[in-house]
Each structure stands twice: as C-alpha cells, then as structure tokens.
C-alpha cells in the first residue's frame, strides 16, 4: 500500500493545532506515513497541496475563512488531485452528504482508532475508498433525501451488473483498493479499474464512494 519503500505523504488541514499535532503523531508513529504539510483553513490547504504534492489530504470540514468543503471543491476540480478524506464528527451529517457529492474518497470520524486512521491513509493512497462504518450507518437513512437523484433511483440497477461487476462492487463496499480487489479476484489492477468504471456508469454514480454507500444500502457486503 505504500509507494515502494517511501512513506505516504500527507497534508493535514484542521484549525485546531492540538488536533493536527495529535494526528501527525499517530500517523508518523506508524513509519508508513509522513506529514509533509499542515493547514489551519482552506486557503492554506490549497497552498500546502501546491507546495508539497501530497499523496493524501485529510481535511476538517469546519474551518474559519475558506472552509474545508470549499477548498475540496477547488481541489477536486483539478486534474490529478490527490485523494482526500473528510474528518468529521457525528453531528455533521450534512457536511458528509455534501462532501459525498463533491467526490471525496474518504469519511473518517475524528475519534477513529490510531490503527484505523493509518490504515485509512494507506488505503486512500492505494486508490481505495474509506468509509467509517459509524458514518455509513448514520448517513444511509438520510441518503435518499440528501444525495443526487441518480442515487435515489439506483437500487433497481444492481441487477444490471454482471456477476464480476457485483464482485467488484462488494470490494468497493469493503473500501478496498483496485489492487486489493484484483488480488482477491485474480484480476490485473488495470482490469479492475475498467470494471469499476463500467459499474459506476451502470449505477449512475460519480465515484467509488457513492457506489460503496449504495452497496451498503442494498445490504451488499464484502466478498
């Protein structure tokens, strides 16, 4: 999951210095992650991404000035933007729903266990989607009201997927990267990427996180 022998490079954005310090300590203690930049607001986040070209960005949604979501909208509009995960709390469901529409690849609660946080960063760097199960369980009941129309109509589309696409969808539901799905199914990573692209079109969703949330809502578990 790490790029060769090099640690995954991360930019942290949170307006609380103690939170940033704690996250940095947890991540770098693993030896697999290096925090290359920090930001206290959205403007600083964009500048840090430009300066450091990180592999992963972790963003608090509530920051003064240019907020996390506003910065993520700018970031996600750029070609080759690094994968981003939103750091949130239980009382911010509306921000999670908006981040989902932006195309954020991960959703993490700030009280996540250290091992889970490190694993999430490594999975994001490897192309996976990260969904804290507690966020998923809380968000799903609100999915129909807050997500795009395409997500409201999609349940009937599960039957349109081939058996192999359904296997890949189960991998997305588990938050697996293309490489991990490929190993499990005996497929090349490039082949998995093609399957993912095809099932996103069939489901009418924009990204793998939306597909994963749909899979959870239909009761589609990991393979």
| Domains of the chain, first to last | 8-141 (3.40.50.2300), 148-217 (1.10.10.10)
DSSP bridge partners of 12: 38, 58
**pLDDT above 50 (res 211):** yes
**pLDDT above 80 (res 137):** no
Sheet of 106-109, strands arranged across:
33-39, 8-13, 56-60, 84-88, 106-109, 130-131
In sequence order, what E strands does 113-167 have?
Answer: 130-131
Tokens at residue 216, please? 């959870």
What pLDDT, in 10s, does the model give residues 37-96?
999 999 999 999 999 999 999 999 888 888 888 999 999 888 889 999 998 875 556 677
**pLDDT at site 144:** 44
- Closest by CA to 136, choosing from 64, 68, 213, 60, is 213
**pLDDT above 90 (res 159):** no
* 10 membership: H or E segment, kind and range: strand 8-13
In sequence order, what E strands does 47-149 have?
Answer: 56-60, 84-88, 106-109, 130-131
Strand pairing class (33-39; 56-60) = unpaired
**pLDDT above 60 (res 222):** no
Cα–Cα distance between 76 and 95 in angstroms, integer?
16
Report the predicted TM-score, pTM, of the whole model to 2 decimal places. 0.75
Determine which of 33-47, 88-102, 122-136, 195-209 has the lowest per-residue pLDDT on average.
Answer: 88-102
- Closest by CA to 203, choosing from 130, 124, 147, is 147
């Amino acid at each position: 999951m790490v790029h060769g022998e090099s640690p995954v490079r991360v930019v942290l954005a949170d307006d609380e210095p103690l939170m940033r310090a704690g996250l940095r300590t947890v991540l770098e203690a693993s030896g697999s992650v290096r925090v290359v930049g920090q930001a206290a607001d959205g403007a600083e986040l964009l500048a840090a991404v430009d300066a450091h070209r990180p592999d992963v960005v972790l963003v608090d949604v509530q920051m003064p000035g240019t907020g996390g979501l506003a910065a993520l909208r700018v970031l996600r509009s750029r070609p080759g933007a690094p994968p981003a995960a939103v750091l949130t709390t239980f009382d911010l469901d509306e921000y999670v729903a908006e981040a989902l529409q932006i195309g954020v690849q991960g959703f993490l609660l700030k009280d996540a266990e250290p091992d889970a946080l490190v694993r999430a960063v490594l999975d994001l760097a490897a192309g996976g989607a990260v969904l804290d199960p507690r966020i998923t369980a809380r968000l799903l009941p609100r999915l129909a009201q807050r997500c795009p129309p395409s997500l409201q109509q999609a349940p009937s589309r599960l039957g349109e997927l081939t058996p192999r696409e359904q296997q890949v969808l189960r991998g997305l539901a588990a938050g697996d990267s293309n490489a991990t799905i490929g190993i499990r199914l005996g497929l090349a990573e490039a082949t998995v990427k093609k399957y993912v692209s095809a099932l996103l079109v069939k489901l009418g969703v924009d990204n793998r996180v939306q597909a994963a949330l749909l899979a959870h809502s239909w009761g589609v578990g990991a393979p």
